[in-house]
Amino acid sequence: MSRQHRSFNQSQLRWGLWMLLLAMGCGGFSPANAAVPLPAAQQFVPGQWRSWEELPESRLRASLARLAPEARQRAVAWLQSFQFTGADCDSLEVDADGGVFYRCRFVVTPMPASAAPAEPSPGTAQAPLPVSPFPDSLKFHSRPGAPNVIFLNFAGETVTNTQWNTDLGRAVIPALPFSMDADFTTFSDSEQAVIRAVWQRVAEDYAPFDVDVTTERPAVFNNRTAMVLITRNTDANGDPNPSSDAGGVSYVNVFGTLFYARYRPCWVYANNLGFVESYIAEASSHEAGHNLGLSHDGRTDGVEYYAGHGSGDISWAPIMGAGYNRNVTQWSKGEYYLANNTQDDLAVIASKLTYRPDDHGQTPATATALVLTGGTNIVSTTPLTDPANTNRANKGVIEKNDDADWFSLVTGTGPVRLTVWPWVMPSGTRGGNLDLAVELYDSAGNLLLTNNPPDTTSATISTQLQAGMYFLVVRNSGAGDPFAPVPSGYSAYGSLGQYFIEGWVTDPSGVVVPPVAELTVADITEPGQARQLLTVVYSDNAAIQVSTVGDGDLWVTGPNGYAQPVRLESVNPVTNAASVTAVYSLPPPNGLAWSVADNGTYEVWMVGGAVGDIEGGWVSAGLLGRFTVAVPIVYYEARMDEDPGWTLDPLWQYGVPAYSSGGPTGGATGSRIIGYNLSGNYENNLPMRYATTPPFSTVGATSLSLRFQRWLRLRRGDSAVIEVSTNGTDWIRVWSANGAVTDNAWRQVQYELPAPVVGARAVQVRWGLGSNPSQSDLGWHLDDVQVLGQGVWDQAPPRPVLRVSDITLAGTITHSCTVEFEDETAVRLASLDSADLWITGPNGYAEWAAFVGADAPMDAARITATYSIPAPNGAWEPEHNGIYTVTLVAGAVEDVWGHATPETVLGTFEVRVAAPESPTLAVFPEEGWAAGGPQGGPFTPAEAVYVVTNSGNASLRFAVESDAAWLQALPHEADLAPGESRLVQATLTPEAAGLAPGIYTATLSFQNLSASQSPIPRPVSLEVRAPRQFLVQVTSEPPDWGEVQPGGGTFTEGAFVTFQAVPRNWFAFAEWGGDVRATTNPITLVVTQDMTLVARFVELTTTNHPTPLWWLAALGYTNDFETAVESTGANGLPLWQSYIAGLDPSDPASQLRLEIRPELESATLRLEWDPQPGRLYTLWEAESPDGPYARVSGAVDLDSSVRTWTVPLGVSRARYYRLSVRLDSGGGS
């Protein structure tokens, strides 16, 4: 580990301890409050609490008590808009206007060494990049073009016109760019690596949703653009940023609101998070989560930020807790031991961002083929190797809990290995949210293998397979038991995110995989259906041979010996393709139409050898599926091709319609119909007039249904009815409408007939039309009328469920609600409109809710409609308080059969906007203003902003007085309407610049000129100090190799100083050291403290036998150094060898010599040599001149202080000695 890395971890450790002490000192328990423990398990759910006095004793409650009444009212309404727990009440803050934000003081333990980020490899280091303009190489997008954006801002920001400015009393907050050192003008290679890693981690957290997580500044900021500002806790002037002791701070539940710009950005303080990539990323996702409406995940034992549990790959924590040093962090809904918050994170986020569309099919027929590289290998790119996701092969996203992504593969006979990885960061904690389970199926759909390892998040299938096609299914999974007293792992709830497939198959060359077929067919429940259509999707790993698709591919068998081949109707595409859709038709047994006599179950069989692929494979013969024929009995029918003989009141007509515009031009299935006035509108004041069928028998029926084609246009207040009778005198109402009906095309409808007419011998049906005195329309048009019995059909209207919240915030302009409609068949989307919901309430309030939109693009079994409820007089205020009822009007919403909802009271909501309390002048903040700076200025903060509010019900006039000539406040006087707030800006006058050093005090007095209220004082202090100077000590290493300009000195605080390292001839600049780590030259520093700056230089050397150029130049060589270094000096040695040995090549006597002197008295040999500085010497010995030579024990890498070495004198055999030398810097020997 390098010195820099060690220093970083020590700094991180110090920071972690500091934060721990901070949390204990400011947010923990003390003997004074221990008697009233915080009810951490208490949850505050919208609509289930009313008063701020219900909150526990806490920082939040104390802040609310100090607010002006109107601001307190707004804050309570804000708090009631999202779910939070009692434990959050020491992190929730309120501003002077009643805005609510989270001040997140994460308690972070030091990162284990095993999880620490790896240092950039020297071989992959990036050159420094300028902060501005933001580098293209650092612009990343997770989902370009998405309607929602989370902008990770690393480039700094000039924050203006936000509530943050108001809170701090600073018109401008110059937030610094992200930097891990004192250089804020460039991104070093380490900083670039952190930017990439933070984006990768946050993009993974939001991967399931339709949002673009990006580092590129959006061209436009709208109310669907979040900004996470990753900066320091102080700004460019050294002033503290909002909640500067926190890890992050952000307003809650503001994303998507009309006032979002006021409460942007979220702040994340990288220096308070130790500059650790995973900490910064966790905080970024966490703070963006607050913007979206999420609160903290803690425990019922008083822990506000749950730090998680477990170990290894499946160590876990919730993102809205404190998921530092955990390998898996996920969105949560409280599925862990002692969880205190059941807020459904995914539902809250999806309500703001929506889920992204599914990227892979969920059946074999819609499976995505795995792409092979080199014939056998399965590889995929990742956000690390392909951040733009240009290659989308062999990967995907699990975006919902029920998502299952299908992939097909073809293999030869032999081994197959398939590993599916979640996103795993290259360093630090793993960073992925997804735990995987995989399944392997054969081509017939049989499950062969599954894999879901308990202790890791990846999954692998490794097996031997026979040649053929198989299917790999990727699902999400949980792990461990998070509910145990010693919890481990997590549920599958938040196990969502990116995955990547890799592995290999046995070479599939020559393997012919038979095509597969998948049948789609509907049951027959309609009388008169002339043919049955069957759709078959043929899929193949190569391509379907379209020419083989034709008549007789399928045979259908059924009751009464039915056995018929199908006839091909269409095929798409008409060229060979991996997937081909064929539509076949099947004739009824009598060749005309399916009837009651044909009822029963039919089986569809694939004919072997009928449909093939381009490789010679054929779809296997076998059963593809079944369908049921349940044709009802037709008791009456009027197709209108001939006059059906109905009894028609005046202006009811049979014939061809002749409207000039707006109405039908013919029937649904022919040209003739029955309708009221086939050439114009019905009249005003029209008494009910009828078109009546002849009597018909329903003897033997057990149930009856009326089905017909309708084109009906009706104005509100006019009437349309359908009635039925068994005697022509007494009529039973089947259906009616008194509201607007606006059919603009034929549509089939169906209504159940009442029990009294079922089985009767003489049944008649009639359609009636009547109108009011004003307006008119086209009325009834009827075609293809049938009365059916014993059928299978949907007779129920859609079922509605209302979701609406209470209104607690004054000034709310509109109020949204949703109604989920569910139907057995499908809800008719076109029936949803602004005449569905009628809202009634106090003071005669009665309004229609405006239809905003639906979550389905077409008719669907379940549709959620959103409506907007208008406010009286444009905004909801205290005078509108009360209970409001939401009623679904009769006939408003229909299913595709025309079954309309009855009038239904869906529910109520309450408006409870608090009325202003007694009149008073309030001033925020309560604290005074302390400024300071050098004599003559500038002084910081340069100004203070106070919010003055009239919380009464009558206008007032206020004034602000200063008792010092160097202090002023503007405006000096102003009027405030009831409930109005305005800003008062306190600034220093020019006289402040002339003050001598010292501490000065003054008072701003806020006076209510319209009431007998005591003046409100705000103390102001000004410290004038002699300008601070800081010493920058500049040195060069080695001093003779270069210099720095300027050469250091004393500089005024805040000065920008540019230093340039200037190498001497034959040397080069390498890097900056001391208090700065950078390679940029020149470098610009902001002087904020005493510092040392070291310029490190290196020698320029030859490429061949690296030898310093300065040394060669000193010998007279000034060019062609590569040739010179190998030339021989006067001492007979190549120049490069003389350099290594420290010899003078111009002196013939300068040689590397080893002299041996025997010491007979001590029976030793003294070995002598002339050592040179900066060289290391090693002695070698051998028994033969030719060796082999071995090092003399202890005589290895001797420095220049050693000149002799003594060895024993051998008596039995000769010994030979050698001396070798090498550079102390590690050069060759």
Ramachandran class of 353: left when φ > 0, alpha when ψ lies in -120 to 50, beta otherwise? alpha
Domain for residue 52, yes or no? no
In the predicted model, is pLDDT for residue 9 greater than 50? no
Domain for residue 667, yes or no? yes
Fill in the amino acid letter for 211.
Answer: V
For 537-551, 936-950, 1186-1200, which range has the lowest pLDDT when averaged over its residues? 936-950
What would the pLDDT profile of 818-832 be if each residue is shown by its tens digit? Answer: 899 998 888 988 899
Q: Are 378 and 371 in contact (CB under 8 A)?
A: yes
Nearest CA to 920 out of 877, 971, 979 is that of 979
Once rounded to an integer, what is the mean pLDDT over residues 1191-1213?
87
Q: Is there a single domain that holds both residue 890 and residue 1006? A: no
611 CB-near residues (< 8 Å, 6+ apart)? 515, 517, 538, 544, 545, 548, 549, 553, 582, 618, 619
Q: What is the pLDDT of residue 940?
A: 85
Q: Is there a single domain that holds both residue 724 and residue 806? A: no
The C-alpha atoms of residue 652 and residue 759 are separated, in whole angstroms, by: 29
What would the pLDDT profile of 184-240 be if each residue is shown by its tens digit? Answer: 999 999 999 999 999 999 999 999 999 999 999 999 999 899 999 999 999 999 999
CA 747 to chain CA mean position, Å = 42
Domain for residue 58, yes or no? no
Q: Is there a single domain that holds both residue 708 and residue 847? A: no
In the predicted model, is pLDDT for residue 180 greater than 80? yes
Q: Is there a single domain that holds both residue 960 and residue 1046? A: no
In the predicted model, is pLDDT for residue 766 greater than 50? yes
Question: Collapsing DSSP states into helix, strand and coil, what is residue 1112?
Answer: helix
- Two structure tokens written together for 192: 């670039």
Query: Residue 566: which domain range?
Result: 516-631
Question: Collapsing DSSP states into helix, strand and coil, what is residue 44?
Answer: strand
Nearest CA to 388 out of 613, 203, 151 is that of 203
Domain for residue 36, yes or no? no
What would the pLDDT profile of 936-970 be if each residue is shown by its tens digit? Answer: 888 888 899 998 988 777 788 999 999 999 999 99
The C-alpha atoms of residue 1145 and residue 1148 are separated, in whole angstroms, by: 7
Report the percentage of the chain scoring pLDDT > 70: 93
- Two structure tokens written together for 808: 């607690």
Q: Are 453 and 422 in contact (CB under 8 A)?
A: no
Q: Is there a single domain that holds both residue 569 and residue 714? A: no
The C-alpha atoms of residue 506 and residue 525 are separated, in whole angstroms, by: 49
Q: What is the pLDDT of residue 437?
A: 96
Q: Is there a single domain that holds both residue 823 and residue 741? A: no
Q: Are 462 and 366 in contact (CB under 8 A)?
A: no
Give CA angle at 67 (65, 72), nearest 5°: 85
What would the pLDDT profile of 1009-1038 be if each residue is shown by its tens digit? Answer: 988 888 999 999 999 988 788 899 999 999
The C-alpha atoms of residue 424 and residue 434 are separated, in whole angstroms, by: 10
Report the percentage of the chain scoring pLDDT > 90: 67
Q: Is there a single domain that holds both residue 416 and residue 532? A: no
Q: What is the pLDDT of residue 10?
A: 30
Q: What does the DSSP assignment read for 274-315?
A: TT-HHHHHHHHHHHHHHHHT-----BTTS-SS---B--GGG-
Q: What is the pLDDT of residue 40?
A: 38
Q: What is the pLDDT of residue 1?
A: 31
User: CB neighbours (10 Å) of residue 997?
Assistant: 11
Q: Is there a single domain that holds both residue 1086 and residue 1121? A: no
Identify the band that residue 20 occupies on the pLDDT scale cut at 50, 70 and 90: very low
Identify the band that residue 799 occupies on the pLDDT scale cut at 50, 70 and 90: very high
In the predicted model, is pLDDT for residue 1229 greater than 80? no
What would the pLDDT profile of 35-54 be if each residue is shown by its tens digit? Answer: 233 333 588 988 788 899 99
- Two structure tokens written together for 924: 């925020």
What would the pLDDT profile of 881-933 be if each residue is shown by its tens digit? Answer: 999 999 999 989 998 888 889 999 999 999 988 765 556 888 988 888 999 88
- Two structure tokens written together for 331: 């969105």
Q: What is the pLDDT of residue 391?
A: 92
In the predicted model, is pLDDT for residue 671 greater than 90? yes
The C-alpha atoms of residue 886 and residue 803 are separated, in whole angstroms, by: 10
Max distance between CA atoms of the chain, in angstroms, equals 151
Give CA angle at 513 (507, 516), nearest 5°: 145
Query: Which range among 857-871, 993-1007, 1043-1057 has the greatest average pLDDT?
Result: 993-1007
Of 327, 353, 379, which residue sits at a domain end? 353
Q: What is the pLDDT of residue 397?
A: 97
What would the pLDDT profile of 89-107 be if each residue is shown by its tens digit? Answer: 989 999 999 999 999 986 5
The C-alpha atoms of residue 587 and residue 531 are separated, in whole angstroms, by: 5
Number of H helices, E strands in the chain: 10, 76
Once rounded to an integer, what is the mean pLDDT over residues 762-785?
95
Q: Is there a single domain that holds both residue 849 and residue 720? A: no
CATH number at residue 334: 3.40.390
Domain for residue 343, yes or no? yes
Identify the band that residue 746 occupies on the pLDDT scale cut at 50, 70 and 90: very high
Q: Is there a single domain that holds both residue 225 and residue 171? A: yes
| Residue that is written with structure tokens 């701090």 in the block | 168
The C-alpha atoms of residue 870 and residue 1133 are separated, in whole angstroms, by: 99
Mean pLDDT of the chain: 88
Once rounded to an integer, what is the mean pLDDT over residues 109-121?
44
Domain for residue 76, yes or no? no
What would the pLDDT profile of 513-532 be if each residue is shown by its tens digit? Answer: 888 898 999 899 887 888 99
Instruction: Identify each DSSP E strand in 995-1148 by its residue range.
Output: 998-1008, 1016-1025, 1029-1037, 1042-1045, 1049-1052, 1056-1063, 1067-1074, 1083-1086, 1091-1099
Q: Is there a single domain that holds both residue 169 and residue 295? A: yes
654 CB-near residues (< 8 Å, 6+ apart)? 640, 643, 644, 646, 648, 672, 673, 674
Q: What is the pLDDT of residue 1212?
A: 64
Question: Considering its fold, how many domains does the chain have in total?
Answer: 8
Once rounded to an integer, what is the mean pLDDT over residues 747-752?
89
- Two structure tokens written together for 1022: 């000004």
Ramachandran class of 1046: left when φ > 0, alpha when ψ lies in -120 to 50, beta otherwise? beta
Of 860, 883, 911, which residue sits at a domain end? 911
Once rounded to an integer, what is the mean pLDDT over residues 1049-1056?
83
Identify the band that residue 867 occupies on the pLDDT scale cut at 50, 70 and 90: confident
Fill in the amino acid letter for 243.
Answer: S
ω into residue 1046 within 30 of 0, thus cis?
yes
| Residue that is written with structure tokens 């239904």 in the block | 904
Q: What is the pLDDT of residue 935?
A: 83
550: number of CA atoms within 13 Å, CB side? 6
CATH number at residue 1137: 2.60.40
Q: Is there a single domain that holds both residue 1091 and residue 1133? A: no
Q: What is the pLDDT of residue 258?
A: 78
In the predicted model, is pLDDT for residue 539 greater than 80? yes
The C-alpha atoms of residue 286 and residue 326 are separated, in whole angstroms, by: 15
Instruction: Identify each DSSP E strand in 875-995 by its residue range.
Output: 882-888, 904-911, 921-924, 929-934, 943-950, 956-962, 967-970, 973-976, 981-988
Of 1065, 1099, 1133, which residue sits at a domain end? 1099
Q: Are 837 and 883 in contact (CB under 8 A)?
A: no
CATH number at residue 452: 2.60.120.380
CATH number at residue 865: 2.60.40.10
Question: Computed from CA positions of residues 1133, 1135, 1138, 1140, in that sequence, does the dihedral angle turn out positive or negative?
Answer: negative
What phi and psi, each to the nearest 5 degrees, are found at residue 1110? Answer: -60, -35
Domain for residue 3, yes or no? no
Q: Are 78 and 251 in contact (CB under 8 A)?
A: no
ω into residue 694 within 30 of 0, thus cis?
no
Domain for residue 22, yes or no? no
